[in-house]
Amino acid sequence: MLRHLLLGAACTLIWLTPASASSVCRDDTLQLRGEWGEARFRVEVADSAEERAVGLMHRDSLSAGAGMLFVFSRTEPVSFWMENTLIELDMLFIAENGQVTQIHSRAKPLDRTPISSTNDVRYVLEINGGMAQAMGIQVGSDVRHPSILQDGAVWPCEVGN
């Protein structure tokens, strides 16, 4: 019960600071928007093979407004597992143009079962398990971050930012 109250409070805080409040694209901030509204997450970027291999393993918590953005060098199907990951996570699979194409909710901690994209993706955002549903984040949501290939992005960073 306390976890649900804390998650609700965190969602409220994220919603109260809409992504449009800041149009500056920053490496440490990922913005999401859709029919459900807008949100920002503080993100760590995992853009090397070594960083992607470690991801969020061995951490016992992740703050509500935080996440990790996995950036791949090619657009292709990807697969994850939760080995050595101690916290439940939502995985948002994101196409090269910055659009969410799939959401895997509440990945089970320490599970070695592969969690694969159903199509080609370039990015994956991991956030706390249940957060996507609590916020109403849906497939088709737009993502803005400097790591998203800007040419063809559905929500590009503004020129000069």
Q: From CA 58, how far away is CA 49, in angstroms rounded? A: 17
115 φ, ψ to 5°? -115, 110
Tally of structural domains, the chain:
1
Full domain range(s) for residue 59: 2-144
Look at residue 159 and tell me if it is in a domain.
Answer: no
Look at residue 151 and tell me if it is in a domain.
Answer: no
**In sequence order, what E strands does the chain have?**
29-34, 37-46, 66-76, 79-80, 89-94, 100-107, 115-116, 121-128, 142-144
Look at residue 157 and tell me if it is in a domain.
Answer: no
Residue 33 has pLDDT above 50, yes or no: yes
Look at residue 160 and tell me if it is in a domain.
Answer: no
Look at residue 61 and tell me if it is in a domain.
Answer: yes
Three-state DSSP at 8 gives helix
Q: From CA 59, how far away is CA 154, in angstroms rounded? A: 33
Residue 78 has pLDDT above 80, yes or no: yes
Which of these, 42, 39, 93, lies nearest to 70 by C-alpha position? 93
Q: What is the pLDDT of residue 51?
A: 97
Residue 1 has pLDDT above 90, yes or no: no
Q: What is the pLDDT of residue 30?
A: 98
Q: From CA 148, how far away is CA 106, in angstroms rounded? A: 25
Cα→Cα distances 54→47, 152, 158, Å = 11, 30, 32
CATH code at position 40: 2.60.120.1140
